[in-house]
């Protein structure tokens, strides 16, 4: 099955710094989502981005489907950005999402 | 518009017991998927239901089952609980048609098996 790799696995930043999280996938996909998991476990939708670039406030994402990767940019990070960021992809006619192992982000004040 | 609602939020069960978890999708969504999250295995797909029919199934033993009702609410059941079933169980809601729509997750049910 498709493999999803996220890097880096851990990232520690000072408040105000910028960061880039990467998601590589091993096969073509027709859906890609980025999530932020809050401390209580809920997956919060950040982007639905099978291709192209989107921006939402301090966050933006780019997916280059032909090269099988996606990037999540966080600018001017805040302590509330801390948590685990997941990339998930979907193939073909299945609604199954395949998740990466996540990037754990810690933003220190 | 209400989000995805999962109940209960927390459960403690004993080995050998069975458990039923519930998920109410976003109004108008007809697809419900279930995922298990553990520290060792990460997030893994259990199954997906659309219009009361199981459309896809992940690689889990038959002790894990589910169903969907005519109002799109879904339940998953785990029988003969094992310690390794301790996990966060997440439910995802989608429109279901067309395919490739965005998935939205509930807050999860944290199951502890003792």
Residue B97 has pLDDT above 90, yes or no: no
Centre a 10 Å sphere on the Cβ of residue B70 and count the other Cβ atoms it contains: 7
Overall size of chain A counted in residues: 109
Beta-carbon separation of A43 and B55 below 8 A? no
Chosen for mutation from A35, A50, A95, A99 (greatest number of chain B CBs closer than 10 Å) is A95
The C-alpha atoms of residue B6 and residue A45 are separated, in whole angstroms, by 17
Residue B98: pLDDT band by 50, 70, 90 thresholds? low
B6 CA: distance to closest CA in chain A (Å): 11
B16-51 exposure pattern, b = at least 16 Cβ within 10 A, e = fewer: eeebebebbbbeebbbbbbbbbeeeebbbbbbbbbe
- The secondary structure of residue A76, as a DSSP letter, is S
Indicate the pairing of strand A83-90 with strand A98-99: antiparallel
Average pLDDT of A7-29? Answer: 97
- B25 interface with A at CB cutoff 8 Å: no
Among A41, A48, A94, whose Cβ lies nearest the Cβ of B102? A48
Tally the C-alpha atoms within 13 A of residue B59's C-alpha that lie toward its C-beta.
Answer: 5
Ranges of beta strands (E only) in B16-73 are: 19-24, 31-38, 42-50, 53-57, 64-68
Q: Which helix (H) or strand (E) holds A7?
A: strand A4-7
A88 CA: distance to closest CA in chain B (Å): 10
pLDDT at A105: 97
* pLDDT tens readout for residues A43-100: 999 999 999 999 999 999 999 999 999 999 999 999 999 999 999 999 877 789 999 9
Dihedral Cα B52, B101, B60, B39, nearest 10 deg: -140
Give me the total of CB pairs closer than 8 Å, taking one residue from chain A and one from chain B.
Answer: 62
- B89 interface with A at CB cutoff 8 Å: no
Q: What percent of chain B has pLDDT over 90?
A: 89
* pLDDT tens readout for residues B47-95: 999 999 998 899 999 999 999 999 999 999 999 999 999 999 999 999 8
Nearby residues of A90 by Cβ (< 8 Å), 6 or more positions away: A29, A30, A31, A32, A96, A97, A98, B100
What's chain B's average pLDDT? 94
Backbone angles phi and psi of B39, in degrees to 5:
-60, -35
Burial of A79 (0-12, 13-18, 19+ CB in 10 A): exposed
Among B45, B99, B107, whose Cβ lies nearest the Cβ of A97? B45
Residue B113 has pLDDT above 80, yes or no: yes
Instruction: Please list every residue in chain A whose beta carbon sits closer than 8 Å to the beta carbon of residue B42.
Output: 99-102
pLDDT at B2: 77
């Amino acid at each position: 099955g498709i493999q999803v790799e996220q890097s880096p696995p851990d990232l520690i930043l000072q408040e105000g710094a910028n960061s880039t999280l990467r998601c590589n996938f091993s096969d073509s996909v027709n859906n890609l989502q980025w999530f932020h998991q809050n401390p209580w476990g809920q997956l919060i939708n950040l982007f639905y981005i099978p291709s192209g670039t989107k921006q939402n406030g301090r966050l933006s994402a780019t997916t280059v489907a032909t090269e099988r990767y996606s990037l999540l940019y966080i600018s001017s990070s805040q302590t509330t950005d801390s948590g685990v960021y997941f990339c998930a992809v979907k193939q073909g006619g299945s609604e199954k999402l395949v998740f990466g192992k996540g990037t754990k982000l810690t933003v220190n004040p | 518009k209400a989000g995805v609602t999962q109940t209960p939020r927390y459960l403690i069960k004993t080995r050998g017991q069975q458990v039923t978890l519930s998920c109410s999708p976003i109004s108008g969504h007809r697809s419900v998927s279930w995922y298990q999250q553990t520290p060792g295995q990460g997030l893994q797909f259990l199954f997906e239901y659309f219009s009361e029919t199981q459309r896809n199934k992940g690689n889990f033993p038959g002790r894990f089952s589910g169903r969907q009702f005519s109002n799109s609410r879904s339940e998953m059941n785990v029988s003969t609980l094992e310690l390794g079933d301790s996990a966060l169980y997440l439910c995802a809601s989608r429109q279901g048609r067309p395919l490739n729509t965005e998935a939205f997750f509930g807050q999860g049910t944290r199951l502890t098996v003792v």
